[in-house]
Chains A and B, each alone.
Chain A
Amino acid sequence: MSTVSSFFTFIPEIVRYALAAAGPLLFASVGGLFPELGGMLNIALEGLIGLGAFFGMAAAGASGSLAGGALTAMAAGMASALLLGMIVLRFRAHLFVAGLAINLAAGGITAILSQAWFGTKAVVPFKIPPVPAAFPPFLRDIPLLGPMLFSHSIITVSAWLWVLLSAIVIERSRFGLRLRATGMNATAVDALGVRADRYQMTALALSGIGCGLAGYALGVSISAYVPNIASGRGWIALVAIYLGRRRAGWVAAACLVFALAESFSNYLQGFLSIPPLLVLALPYAVTLVSLIAGGLRTSAEGM
């Protein structure tokens, strides 16, 4: 019970947990960064995560292939995000209302199909192959760093790779440049002969892919699909995007902070016996406090 020794065991554990728990958030928020950079905030992230989880797990369970599940999850997210884009860009619907509609529809579709395909609207367990580890065993055995950094699954590592690749694409690629310009001034982009709406659509598609993977990661971690599996992560991802000031690195940092908070609260729950139902409020509370802090800082900087 020595606090010093438990300190040395729990810090790595908290970090390890946080790095892994951040995975879904990273997929969703960095994915959601693309449309935001193009000037269209996608608030359907929550629903897209649910769709990705459902269809991805269903495919993984049916095919017995983790990769098949991942691809299906990405496709489901992408298709739904493209639907959102088409309705907003072609039919000139309101962006936020359409996003909310997708959230609503996602809940409805998953419930209906879950009932139809699996006979229940509640928890649906899936038999899926175990998720391979990302690093060879000898790395995992390094003291302290091993468990923290090298014990993660390929899903978690993919999430961090997703951040890295996205950062490169945003800052250095032609697509990223034109997308950022679209967010700054879409009419100018059109006037210069570049199709702003194509870039916005592609950005939305990327956010759909990200959310699909986020949902899939959540499902895989519990080998099941649960209604409301996203549990607010889609909204937390939005706050991470806001806090990250449009830089992928900072968005990822915000996600990590949220994941650390979740990690801490899990640990404390054991220690302080906070009632489990109240613990559910903690991620939202932390997110709200960060949102307010971020807003205070922005306004203190004088706009």
Chain B
Amino acid sequence: MLAVRMLHITKKYLPSGVRANDDACLEVERGSIHAIVGENGAGKSTLMKILAGLETADSGTIEIGGRNVQIRNPSEARMLGIGMVHQHFQIFDELSAAENMLFGMEPVSRTGLVDRKSLIRQASFLAEQYGFSLDCAVPAGTLAVGARQQVEILRQLARNVSILILDEPTSVLTEQEIQALFCKLADIRQKGHTILIITHKIDEVMQIADQVTVMREGKTVGTFPVREVSAAELSRLAMGSADFISPRERSKPAPGAPVLSLSDLCVKSRSRGRMALDRLSFEVHRNEILGICALGGNGLEALEEVLGGFLPPSRGVCTFNTSSFQVHHYASFRRLLHSGNILYLPSDRMRRGIAPHLAVMENFIALSRKSYFHRGWLDASQAKSKTLEAIARFRISAHPHQKAEELSGGNIQKLALARIFSLPPADLLVLCDPTWGLDMKTTEETYVRILEARDAGSAIILLSSDVDEILALSDRVMVLYRGRANLTSSYGEEVTRERIGLAMLGNIVTTDSASCRSPDPDSTAIHGAAAAGDPS
């Protein structure tokens, strides 16, 4: 019996004309957990948003429980028993968990005021019913991420949704919270609900889902029972071509003198007492790529802000080439950034990397504007010709006078990359998630450019949440956990995905991978231990 059937769904986004969904089809069995996988931009979110009433398809039909329906807004979706938990939670931070859960259905006492006791009672009952243990009276903003997600899920269950959609539910959870979530999802399925999960994490799909649909570039590639397909096959279907060869197999120059050395870097966290970065120290040399990765919330974001010139640390000593200074005298560091000695590519290029209403040309020259404004006035012809050069070289489909906001996401990413790589090589490059949002071909080209920059003498710090990228490019790897370096490899040392994964979860990893201790919350920084170990 099919809970949901979507046929020939097409949706175009104007003005770029990109087809978010291209004749996509989906069939979901009632009472199953059905995963939808695909890369970024494959169309999974759009398809689910159409189902949830947040978007309308340009064409196609939807059947719920066998009946043909129109879903024009979230209310109509709710009438049909469809509810969605978004990747970015829609929690009202200042309201209590109970008020969040029962929002729109608050019990009212005889005086016409909200009956608080009844509200908390109903919310707690609902939570217990599904096996969640949640303090419903506290402000939702103070709950941990996993708990906030539970509030979101319960909120949908309170509205009697029979079809629950989860958008990238595990992207913000710790490993333990993920396992807890999966148990809950199984329980919810037992009670007869249908669950749809949007994700790009194929290993999680193998763990929890009954059926999986693969999407790529807006189209549905196929639907399979999870038991009958392997992770590798799914990955291949989602990515569309054979796994690219890691371009590491080249001879490369040996690392040179240290370019940037940071010691004792401390950054206070805005919430929750803990330091975002806790006495972090590391070095990066010429002709070397240092890859730094971590799970969300462990300091990677803070490190990017510091290195990008957006967040002054509270302590730390910085040595750039030969001059040393206290890093909290942030102006000196920012001078390095803005004079071109350090080039920084932000991870959130949509928010930080473009001025949407300005032209492509203006966006392109913004970073290096000194060379385009002679004595204060613009050299328009030079600006335009350099922009055209970059457009050709980086295969950006854009026109210099077009407004940046009209470009597709992928082209905006390419513009941000082009801006950095069109400049003369700098002493230090700080690249954050450089290939996020790029298609396969451009990703390969970018890897090549990064390696070329390294070989030409730059030092490169690569901050990425993508372990594959880290493994493909880095000469040395550093893993952050709770603001400290939990693993720092030395040059030439082989680092496996398993070691990185364990280090990201807080396991203290020595060079002898057989002995792994589980995370000790009070442990002092151990970055010295691994580096001091024998680099074989």
A: which residues have CB within 8 A of B? 168, 172-174, 177-178, 180-181, 184-185, 187-194, 302
Distance, CA A35 to CA B349, complexed state (A) = 34
A176 nearest CB neighbor, chain B only: B114
Given known contacts A185-B90, A190-B74, what 15 new A-B pairs fall within 8 Å (CB)?
Answer: A172-B113, A172-B114, A177-B114, A180-B92, A180-B95, A181-B99, A184-B94, A185-B91, A188-B92, A191-B74, A191-B84, A193-B74, A193-B104, A193-B159, A194-B103
Is the CB–CB distance between A174 and B108 below 8 Å? yes
Is the CB–CB distance between B104 and A194 below 8 Å? yes
Tell which of A180, A181, A185, A302 has the most Cβ of chain B within 10 Å: A181
Distance, CA A192 to CA B75, complexed state (A) = 7
Partner of A188, one of B78, B90, B99, B159: B90
Question: Closest approach, in angstroms, between the C-beta of B105 and any C-beta of chain A?
Answer: 9
- Chain A positions within 8 Å of B78 at CB level: 193
- Chain A positions within 8 Å of B273 at CB level: none
- Chain A positions within 8 Å of B92 at CB level: 180-181, 184-185, 188
B216 close to A (CB within 8 Å): no
9 CB-based A-B contacts, threshold 8 Å: A173-B113, A174-B108, A174-B114, A177-B99, A184-B92, A185-B92, A190-B74, A193-B74, A194-B104
A187 nearest CB neighbor, chain B only: B90
Is the CB–CB distance between B94 and A168 below 8 Å? no
Distance, CA A193 to CA B84, complexed state (A) = 12
- Overall SS of chain B's interface: loop
Interface set, chain B 60-93, CB cutoff 8 A to A: 74-75, 78, 84, 90-93
Assuming the A-B contacts A184-B92, A192-B155, A193-B75, are A178 and B103 also in contact, with contact meaning beta carbons closer than 8 angstroms in the complex? Answer: yes
- List the 6 closest A-B pairs by CB distance, nearest first: A188-B90, A172-B113, A184-B92, A181-B92, A191-B74, A194-B104
Question: Closest approach, in angstroms, between the C-beta of B434 and any C-beta of chain A?
Answer: 30
B119 nearest CB neighbor, chain A only: A177
B15 close to A (CB within 8 Å): no
- B101-133 toward A: CB 8 Å interface, digit per residue (1/0)? 001101010001110000000000000000000
- Chain B positions within 8 Å of A187 at CB level: 90
Is the CB–CB distance between A173 and B112 below 8 Å? yes
B54 close to A (CB within 8 Å): yes
Question: Closest approach, in angstroms, between the C-beta of B116 and any C-beta of chain A?
Answer: 8
Distance, CA A160 to CA B94, complexed state (A) = 27
B: which residues have CB within 8 A of A? 54, 74-75, 78, 84, 90-95, 99, 103-104, 106, 108, 112-114, 155, 159, 270
Distance, CA A120 to CA B103, complexed state (A) = 53
Distance, CA A190 to CA B78, complexed state (A) = 12
Question: Closest approach, in angstroms, between the C-beta of B97 and any C-beta of chain A?
Answer: 13
Distance, CA A180 to CA B78, complexed state (A) = 23
Distance, CA A300 to CA B420, complexed state (A) = 37
B84 nearest CB neighbor, chain A only: A191
Distance, CA A187 to CA B52, complexed state (A) = 14
B96 nearest CB neighbor, chain A only: A177
Distance, CA A172 to CA B112, complexed state (A) = 9
- Chain A positions within 8 Å of B99 at CB level: 177, 181
Is the CB–CB distance between B103 and A191 below 8 Å? no
Distance, CA A193 to CA B82, complexed state (A) = 12
Tell which of B95, B103, B155 has the most Cβ of chain A within 10 Å: B103
Distance, CA A168 to CA B99, complexed state (A) = 17
Distance, CA A185 to CA B141, complexed state (A) = 13
Question: Closest approach, in angstroms, between the C-beta of B96 and any C-beta of chain A?
Answer: 10
Is the CB–CB distance between B95 and A177 below 8 Å? yes
Question: Closest approach, in angstroms, between the C-beta of B336 and any C-beta of chain A?
Answer: 27
Partner of A177, one of B75, B90, B93, B106: B106
- Chain A positions within 8 Å of B54 at CB level: 191
Partner of B103, one of A172, A173, A181: A181
A168 nearest CB neighbor, chain B only: B113
B100 nearest CB neighbor, chain A only: A181
Distance, CA A172 to CA B91, complexed state (A) = 19
Distance, CA A177 to CA B101, complexed state (A) = 13
Assuming the A-B contacts A193-B78, A194-B104, are A181 and B114 also in contact, with contact meaning beta carbons closer than 8 angstroms in the complex? Answer: no
Assuming the A-B contacts A181-B95, A193-B75, are A174 and B106 also in contact, with contact meaning beta carbons closer than 8 angstroms in the complex? Answer: yes
B75 nearest CB neighbor, chain A only: A193
Question: Closest approach, in angstroms, between the C-beta of A112 and any C-beta of chain B?
Answer: 40
- Chain B positions within 8 Å of A192 at CB level: 74, 90, 103-104, 155
B108 nearest CB neighbor, chain A only: A174
Tell which of A172, A177, A178, A185 has the most Cβ of chain B within 10 Å: A177
Distance, CA A168 to CA B84, complexed state (A) = 33
Distance, CA A172 to CA B113, complexed state (A) = 6
Is the CB–CB distance between B155 and A180 below 8 Å? no
Question: Closest approach, in angstroms, between the C-beta of B239 and any C-beta of chain A?
Answer: 32
B95 nearest CB neighbor, chain A only: A181
A303 nearest CB neighbor, chain B only: B270
B106 nearest CB neighbor, chain A only: A174
B109 nearest CB neighbor, chain A only: A172
B112 nearest CB neighbor, chain A only: A173
Distance, CA A280 to CA B270, complexed state (A) = 43
Distance, CA A187 to CA B84, complexed state (A) = 13
Distance, CA A193 to CA B155, complexed state (A) = 12
- Chain A positions within 8 Å of B94 at CB level: 180, 184
Question: Closest approach, in angstroms, between the C-beta of B106 and any C-beta of chain A?
Answer: 5
Partner of A191, one of B90, B95, B114: B90
Distance, CA A190 to CA B86, complexed state (A) = 14
Distance, CA A193 to CA B76, complexed state (A) = 9
Distance, CA A251 to CA B46, complexed state (A) = 44
Distance, CA A168 to CA B103, complexed state (A) = 19
Question: Closest approach, in angstroms, between the C-beta of A189 and any C-beta of chain B?
Answer: 8
